[in-house]
A and B are shown apart, each in its own frame.
Chain A
Amino acid sequence: MAQGQMAPGIVAGRLSSDELTSNFTDLHPPLAPHEAAVAADRCYFCYDAPCVTACPTDIDIPLFIRQIQAGQPESAAKTILDQNILGGMCARVCPTETLCEEACVRETAEGKPVEIGRLQRYATDTLMQAGVHPFTRAAPTGKTVAVIGAGPAGLACAHRLAMLGHDVVIFEAKPKPGGLNEYGIAAYKATNDFAQAEVDWLLKIGGITIRTGEALGQTVTLDSLRNDYDAVFLSIGLTGVNALRAQGEDLPGVRDAVDFIAEVRQAEDLAQVPVGRNVVVIGGGMTAVDAAVKCKLLGAENVTIAYRRGRAAMSASRYEQDLAASKGVCILCNVQPVAIHGNGAAAEIELEYTATIDGKLTGTGETIRLAADQVLKAIGQTLNGAPEGLALDGNKIAVDATGRTSVPGVWAGGDCAAGGEDLTVTAVAEGRDAAMDIHASLSA
């Protein structure tokens, strides 16, 4: 029997399993062949197309859509995967509304872009469902590269290296590969265990070994890897979490949003995932939106995103904000947490209104209290456990345009490396480009 939205505290099973199944279904159902044909027909095959420029992986979008028009989604998929081996996941999770689809000339013309993301999914799903892996390996080079982290950057790098004839060993700290594709990312964007299916499909190239449970600095060190391998690619992500620095942060009921998201993603049974009745999520990015929406879908009665700046400054796109609002999440802007109150567990959060004075965000002194038996912190992740000796750029590993770090033979990419947005698609591009540079370096 479902507990219902009104049950106090952080409890599991607020909704029936039927409701949960329905809530966590695909956010955007895949296009049927007829829908894909109609959607593809809208593409104008632009010259030097703006959508390609907007894509971090430079997928030849007009070409792949033309291939769908011409009745060959498998060829379209090859075009996509040539540039972005995780094109299937990117089709699901890319914020297309701020990338290719924002740049689409039909957005300019009619306020309705070509549905590039969904067409990409149509193409890649068609190929992957046929079990086809359209790439083969070049002749063995005898070189072996170590990749640290089996997230999007590491997988993209490994696949490209394997294709070029190198052997690759991926060291992954978590029990499963996939990185944020597996442990982050909203569940309703990657249904049916797609992240693992995609990894399995990617590994069909051959020549890639994944060793899970291997964490850098614990079971392996950079020095040993540099000795044992011809090159090293670091894609260790951002595993640290910023602190709230508010009184009561250590009360039970307060936790990091990324952990909560990972718990939901890994849950065998969503009815077993506890969620608060009144949830407040601190932050303004995609993680905040994903966490907030998940809470709502799990049956929380009230979910509020509390963000310290104005709505326009939120790093979650307008589309994501609207998605949250449509699921019943309340977005409260210009408030910052002061304290979390509660007797032995979180019960209320005290927020102070903010204003920007002389370019500086400042508390106004006026406060508001919201009921909060669960507080999720989504205020950014930080580099954690980077090996000694690597030059940093800000809080991330410094890299050049091709991903080379300050240490010879060591490249880095993905969220842990400086530059680019922290997106799956950006990570793929960085992994791929680093692989090309590693290859050039090993072939020299």
Chain B
Amino acid sequence: MADLKTNFLGIESPNPYWLASAPPTDKEYNVRRAFEAGWGGVVWKTLGSEGPPVVNVNGPRYGAIYGADRRLLGLNNIELITDRPLEVNLEEMARVKADYPDRALIASIMVPCEEEAWKAILPRVAETGADGIELNFGCPHGMSERGMGSAVGQVPEYIEMVTRWCKKYYDRPVIVKLTPNITDIRKPAAAAKNGGADAVSLINTINSITSVNLDTFSPEPSIDGKGSHGGYCGPAVKPIALSMVSEIARAEATHGLPISGIGGVTTWRDAAEFMVLGCGTVQVCTAAMTYGFKIIDELTAGLSQWMDEKGYSNVSEIVGRAVPNVTDWQYLNLNYVAKAKIDQDQCIKCGRCYAACEDTSHQAISMSPDRVFEVKDEECVACNLCVDVCPVEGCISMVPMAAGEVDPRTGKVVQPDYANWTTHPNNPMAKAAE
């Protein structure tokens, strides 16, 4: 049985699943339920400065995007940081940490971009016994209008500056949570590293309007006829998060910087994907908000079983394993040739592959009067669209051609060696092969 025990920046947790800083971690009651359910750690809902807490709207905070059967694929929110007094949160954190010393408890913090503000709050957080802090430079709504959250995360210089303050006034691990609402995630990540951050966590939520009410013409969620952009999360954002994580994991300036992965983790498989792209832990929110804390049982059992099947005994063995395989387009092997293959025994004859290929791709699938769908190898460019739209998993597969075979589409012999765009004759910038 694989060991899911995780050591991230020296912070230990029984498994790599932390609850992200969000409504599920807003107070002692929820966090105790999460720990009883088996979660490895929590990042407590973001704390603000001493004084009157922020207020939230008194109407809907969330909007959603659905797939078939109303399966929630994306969620957005306009909720702010904790709206409870700092003192109450700190007391609860201390009590919970004392009762669950084996679980990770991280304090998320968002205070104004002034050294005094950070200097004031950090010692008080340290007193709770929290294992570390996460700097919320990510929330794209509400707080950003007040010069916090993503307003900081979008300016690398501010990230570096605040991180430096934190390292100065706090002696435990500092994690910087990044906003995806930027053009190049590597810049803020490098700034965090330069400021002394022990790790980054990403992604925070994405600017979004989930829908517009066509009766009132108000964006949703609607507050008295008006809407404001919210932060988007859930399964729909996973691809964006994976890409950003991988960019940080493989960039020269940030390679090796520990990462806590966030963004649409719903099943063990999503978690494993984040981890092999370089994440030492993963943070979960939307899946818990959709299904409750009990999903931790599937998350841990699934990861454990997969590790057993692959022969890994410790999570540290899987972290970053896929990073070397993330490359630039220009280095992809252009001598690799594949063809779609339809398994006629599995085909249910819906014809979606045909419609997709015929209408929108390469006219590489034929349809007989009795609805037999077959790939025309002489037209197939192996684009994978047929695989993607087929309702039956495994019915259509991409089969690589062996070296020496002739590709009926190009009439060329498939070459055994690797050759990419940098040396391709059509590339005006091509370098002569050495």
Contact = CB atoms under 8 A, between A and B. Distances in A.
Contacts of B432: none
A32 to B, nearest CB: 14
Contacts of B349: 46, 50, 105, 108
B350 A105 contact: yes
B409 interface: no
- Going nearest first, the 9 A-B pairs with the smallest beta carbon separation are A47-B351, A47-B355, A41-B68, A105-B348, A46-B350, A109-B348, A105-B350, A108-B348, A44-B350
Contact of B348 (A41, A47, A106): A106
Interface in A4-58: 37-38, 41-42, 44-50
B426 to A, nearest CB: 35
B69 A41 contact: yes
Contacts of A106: 348
A47 B354 contact: yes
Contacts of A50: 349, 371
Contacts of A38: 69-70
A109 B391 contact: yes
A48 B354 CA distance: 10
Nearest to B359: A47
A44 B351 CA distance: 9
A305 B275 CA distance: 66
Contacts of B424: none
A46 B392 contact: no
Contacts of A41: 68-70
Interface of B: 68-70, 348-352, 354-355, 367, 371, 391-392
Interface in A46-75: 46-50
A5 B89 CA distance: 73
A46 B69 contact: no
Contacts of A47: 350-352, 354-355, 367
Contacts, number: 36
Contacts of B68: 41-42
Nearest to B392: A109
Given A37-B70, A50-B349, A108-B348, A44 B354 contact: no
Contact of A45 (B69, B352, B371): B352
B77 to A, nearest CB: 24
A48 B351 CA distance: 7
A228 to B, nearest CB: 46
Nearest to B349: A105
Contacts of A42: 68
Nearest to B70: A37
26 contacts: A37-B70, A38-B69, A38-B70, A41-B68, A41-B69, A41-B70, A42-B68, A44-B350, A45-B352, A46-B349, A46-B350, A46-B351, A46-B352, A47-B350, A47-B351, A47-B352, A47-B354, A48-B351, A48-B367, A48-B371, A50-B349, A50-B371, A105-B348, A105-B349, A106-B348, A108-B348
B360 to A, nearest CB: 12
A108 B167 CA distance: 62
Q: Give chain A's interface residue range (CB within 8 Å of chain B).
A: 10 to 19
A45 B351 CA distance: 9
A134 B71 CA distance: 34
Interface of A: 37-38, 41-42, 44-50, 105-106, 108-109
B382 to A, nearest CB: 21
A137 B355 CA distance: 36
B363 to A, nearest CB: 14
Nearest to B71: A41
Nearest to A45: B352
Contacts of B69: 38, 41
Contact of B391 (A37, A44, A48, A49): A44
Contacts of B70: 37-38, 41
A38 to B, nearest CB: 6
A76 B27 CA distance: 48
* Most chain B CB atoms below 10 A, which of A41, A42, A49: A41
B352 A44 contact: yes
A293 B42 CA distance: 62
B184 to A, nearest CB: 38
Contacts of A105: 348-350
A37 B67 CA distance: 12
A37 B70 CA distance: 9
Contacts of A48: 351, 367, 371
A440 B70 CA distance: 47
A152 to B, nearest CB: 30
Given A41-B70, A47-B367, A109-B348, 13 more contacts: A37-B70, A38-B70, A41-B69, A44-B352, A45-B352, A46-B350, A47-B350, A47-B351, A47-B354, A47-B355, A48-B351, A105-B349, A108-B348
Contacts of A109: 348, 391-392
Contacts of B367: 47-48
Contacts of B392: 109
Nearest to A110: B348
A47 B351 CA distance: 5
A45 B391 CA distance: 11
A50 B372 CA distance: 12
- Among A41, A47, A49, the most chain B Cβ lie within 10 Å of the Cβ of A47
A37 B391 CA distance: 19
A46 B371 CA distance: 11
A411 B351 CA distance: 38
A47 B391 CA distance: 13
Of the listed residues A44, A48, A49, the one surrounded by the most CB atoms of chain B closer than 10 A to its CB is: A44
Nearest to A46: B350
A282 B348 CA distance: 39
Contacts of A108: 348-349
Contacts of A45: 352
A45 to B, nearest CB: 7
A361 to B, nearest CB: 33
B86 to A, nearest CB: 44
Q: Which of B70, B351, B352, B355 has the most CB of A within 10 A?
A: B351
A108 B347 CA distance: 9
Contacts of A44: 350, 352, 391
B398 to A, nearest CB: 21
A37 B69 CA distance: 7
A34 to B, nearest CB: 9
A105 B391 CA distance: 10
A173 B367 CA distance: 49
Nearest to B373: A47
A20 B84 CA distance: 62
B37 to A, nearest CB: 29
A50 B371 CA distance: 9
A106 B348 CA distance: 8
A49 B371 CA distance: 10
Contacts of B348: 105-106, 108-109
B147 to A, nearest CB: 41
Nearest to B358: A47
Nearest to B354: A47
A45 B353 CA distance: 12
Contacts of B371: 48, 50
A79 to B, nearest CB: 19
B322 to A, nearest CB: 32
A106 B354 CA distance: 17
Contacts of B350: 44, 46-47, 105
A46 B373 CA distance: 13
